[in-house]
Structure 1
Amino acid sequence: MFRRTKSETSTQTPASAPGKVGGKGRPTPTRKDAEAARKQALKKPRNRKEASAYRREKVRIERGKMQEAMKTGDDRYLPAADKGPVRRFARDYVDARWSVMEFALPVLLVISLLGVVFAQAFVWLPGLVNILFLVMIVAIAGDWFLLTGGVKRAVTRKFPDDSAKGIGFYAVRRTMQMRRWRLPKPMVARGEKPV
Structure 2
Amino acid sequence: MFSRKKPSDDSSATDAAADAAAIEQSVGKGRPTPTRKQSQAANKRPLVPDDRRAAAKADREKKRAVRDREYQAMQTGDEKHLPYRDQGPVRRYIRDYVDARWNVGEYFLFLAMAFLVITLFSNQAPALALGAILGLYVVVLIAIIDAFIMWRTLKKRLVATFGAEKLIRGTALYAIMRAFQIRRARLPKPQVKHGEFPA
TM-score by length of 1: 0.71
**Does structure 2 retain, via aligned residues, the 8 Å contact 1:93–1:193?**
yes
Name the structure 2 match of 1:65. 69
Name the structure 2 match of 1:31. none
Question: Could you list the runs of 5+ residues in structure 2 that have no partner in the other structure?
Answer: 1-48
Percent of aligned pairs sharing the same letter:
36
Write the distance in 2 (CA, Å) between the matches of 1:115 and 1:59: 44
1:171 to 175, 178, 182: 175
Name the structure 1 match of 2:20. none
Amino acid in the other structure paired with 1:64 = D
Name the structure 1 match of 2:198. 194
1:171 aligned counterpart, secondary structure: helix
Write the distance in 1 (CA, Å) between the matches of 2:74 and 2:126: 49
2:133 aligned with 1:130, yes or no?
yes
2:110 aligned with 1:106, yes or no?
yes
| Structural mapping, 1:1-195, within 5 Å | 46-117=50-121, 119-160=122-163, 162-165=165-168, 166-195=170-199
How far is the alpha carbon of 1:172 from its aligned partner?
0.8
Cα offsets for 1:117-158 (capped at 9, x unmatched):
1x2333422331232022112111111211211221111111
Name the structure 2 match of 1:39. none
How far is the alpha carbon of 1:109 from its aligned partner?
1.9
Q: How many pairs align?
A: 152
Q: Which has the higher helix share?
A: 2
How far is the alpha carbon of 1:167 from its aligned partner?
1.6
- Segments of 4+ moved more than 6 angstroms: none
Return the index of the structure with the highest Cα Rg: 2
TM-score by length of 2: 0.69
Amino acid in the other structure paired with 2:80 = R
Distance change (3 Å), C-alpha of 1:112 and 1:47: closer
Write the distance in 2 (CA, Å) between the matches of 1:138 and 1:161: 29
**Does structure 2 retain, via aligned residues, the 8 Å contact 1:151–1:167?**
no
Distance change (3 Å), C-alpha of 1:127 and 1:46: closer
Question: Could you list the runs of 5+ residues in structure 1 that have no partner in the other structure?
Answer: 1-44
CA-atom RMSD in angstroms = 2.1
Write the distance in 2 (CA, Å) between the matches of 1:137 and 1:64: 36
How far is the alpha carbon of 1:79 from its aligned partner?
1.1
